[in-house]
Chain A
Amino acid sequence: MMTNGETSAVDLGTPPSGDPRRPAGAGLAYESIRKVFGKGADEFVALDDIDFSTTPGDFVSLVGPSGCGKSTLLKLTAGLLNPTAGSVLVGGKEINGPRTDIGLMLQTSTLFPWRNVVENISLPLDIRRDRSKNREARIHEVLELVGLTGFEYHYPRELSGGMQQRVALCRLLISDPDLMLLDEPFGALDEFTREHLNTELARICEHEHKTTLFVTHNVPESVFLSDVVVVMGAHPGRVLEIIEVDLPRPRLPKLRDSPEFSEICVRIRSILGLS
């Protein structure tokens, strides 16, 4: 059983597992991806000729209108769907099914209501049959990272939407994946909570140096978080342009008010035909 957060013996001063310099996550490469749903007359081209790659450790956003195939591309990367043509490479290895070095988080928290916070975060460990001694300590680390210390034994229905998404983020972080896939993770939250959680996410990602693929239809959100914004269009789903975001890190809330920030937003909006 878990002990109380207060009494768990985590030495926050020294980096665990004796590896202070962590690898910078896995690079992404899409090679001539095409995804078609349905057959014959019902055939629907969700993605056509997706071809780009990114640097390991980058925060990559997919931004575009609803239905342009963002979630489909994310599921292809997760190995939850197979491309009709082409291949996806994560860390140089072709995807042909779900992988434990890739973590997924969706718009709905999909927390299990019968598991409390700690038990929900343990789910990936339970599935991997990871019974290591430091399980507890790691759970408390991720809880602290997202600011949920003290909520260990609460059930999902006792938490706000924002807190539920934090728990879902913990459940993703506990596996220590090389690639994090986030599909509109804060899309169902109010704007205030969303901005706040985005700031948190920027901090966590800068800290963890994990490659991240982030799906959104919110332009400022994508610019705030990303190193690279992949701007997508619909009918068929395709890449319109890839924008490098050369804004300084750490990304802090006041960045949203800077002219450089607005400039990039305006550019993306015009590519999307919004302005």
Chain B
Amino acid sequence: MLDVTSASEVGLPESPPVTRGKSHRGARRTAKRSRSERLRALGRQTLLAAVTFGVLALIWELLSNADPGFWPEIILSKPSEITPAFFEAITTRFVWENYWVTFQATILGFVLGAAAGFILGLMIALIPVFSEAFYPVVILFQSTPRVALAPVFIAWFGFGMSSKVALAATICFFPVLVNTITGLSHIDENAMLLMRSLKASRWQIFTHLRWFAALPTIFAGLKAALTFALIGVIVGELKATNEGAGFLIERGSFQLRMDDVFAYLGILALFGLLLYGIANAVERRVVFWQAGDAEHD
């Protein structure tokens, strides 16, 4: 056991508390500054994005009015028509039902694909035999564009929910798999020495060190996968189904209702943004120690 004698008792100048006070305030100041800086940057970004968006919409509107013969309205539509179409769409139950289907398929595909990728990634990273057996196959599949599998899945699973979920899951699978392997394979040598010197078991090294060290990388993979899942579902719906956001877009295009198509695309963009926002919020909670850094890149 330690018995404690403080610096002053052994007759030394009590310098640490000075450093302590100073650095403490210093640390908090930097933390605060970076948070307000981050907020200000976010505000600026939002404002600039809104301005850019407005200007582009204005140019689009002016161009479509300039020479009706040259810019066939039926193909291009224009903001002044898309805006009411958008508000009509978001107040229509039928539209919501279709986006709800897309949402369900996205989440289901994401969960299935991410879980499979994560579990196989764990096995490849932790069990050497799996690494040798599977990694080359993974690399091979990774270089195949996954959307090209859409017709295959439609042939296998038919029209409807399962084929698009399968497509989304396949697309999700790889980023999660690869990032799980990468995250768990990168081990800080000095941290490892420390753990070994403490006589930590393999399991303790995993639960105390490797798992946490891998989390930021795994999360980056999950975030990419969530976006990919949406892409997979939409591609599936464009190809074959009679419901979902992709189906609405496909039908609108087919009927040459371009104002509707752009309105649906707008909703889809917001929908994607929402998913990404949720993923970010979850990430900031789980990988909390990286919160500051993640904002910068």
The smallest beta-carbon distance between B15 and chain A, in angstroms, is 7
Given contacts A17-B1, A102-B197, A127-B198, contact A159 B23 (CB under 8 A): yes
Q: Which of A19, A102, A154 contacts B27 (CB 8 A)?
A: A154
Q: Confirm or deny: B4 has a beta carbon within 8 angstroms of a beta carbon on chain A.
A: yes
B197–A104 touching, CB < 8 Å: yes
Q: Which of B20, B28, B198 contacts A123 (CB 8 A)?
A: B198
Task: Point out which of B14, B28, B199, B204 has the most chain A C-beta atoms below 10 A from its C-beta.
Answer: B199
B23–A157 touching, CB < 8 Å: no
For B, the interface residue count at a CB cutoff of 8 angstroms equals 42
Given contacts A15-B1, A108-B190, A112-B191, contact A147 B7 (CB under 8 A): yes
Q: Which of B3, B27, B209 contacts A112 (CB 8 A)?
A: B209
Q: How far is the CA of A99 from the CA of B198 in the complex (A)?
A: 7
Q: Confirm or deny: A208 has a beta carbon within 8 angstroms of a beta carbon on chain B.
A: yes
Given contacts A126-B208, A127-B208, A150-B20, contact A141 B188 (CB under 8 A): no
B2–A173 touching, CB < 8 Å: yes
Comparing A31-39, A86-94, A195-203, the segment that makes contact with chain B is: A195-203
Q: Mark A97-127, 1 if CB is under 8 A from B, else 0.
A: 0111011101010101110000000011011
Q: Which of B19, B23, B204, B289 contacts A114 (CB 8 A)?
A: B289
Q: How far is the CA of A199 from the CA of B209 in the complex (A)?
A: 32
Q: How far is the CA of A158 from the CA of B23 in the complex (A)?
A: 9
For A, the interface residue count at a CB cutoff of 8 angstroms equals 59
Q: How far is the CA of A159 from the CA of B27 in the complex (A)?
A: 7
Q: Confirm or deny: A85 has a beta carbon within 8 angstroms of a beta carbon on chain B.
A: no
Could you list 22 examples of A-B contacts with CB < 8 Å? A14-B3, A16-B2, A79-B197, A80-B193, A102-B197, A104-B197, A110-B193, A112-B208, A123-B208, A127-B208, A138-B2, A145-B6, A147-B17, A150-B24, A151-B24, A158-B27, A160-B26, A163-B19, A203-B7, A203-B10, A207-B10, A208-B2
Query: Footprint of B on A, CB under 8 Å?
Result: 10, 12, 14-17, 19-20, 75, 78-80, 98-100, 102-104, 106, 108, 110, 112-114, 123-124, 126-128, 138, 141-142, 144-151, 154-155, 157-160, 162-163, 173, 175-176, 196, 199-200, 203, 207-208, 250, 252
9 A-B pairs closest in CB distance: A147-B16, A15-B3, A17-B1, A16-B1, A104-B197, A113-B289, A158-B27, A114-B289, A114-B212
Query: Footprint of A on B, CB under 8 Å?
Result: 1-7, 10-12, 14-17, 19-20, 23-24, 26-28, 31, 188, 190-191, 193-200, 204, 208-209, 212, 215, 288-290, 292
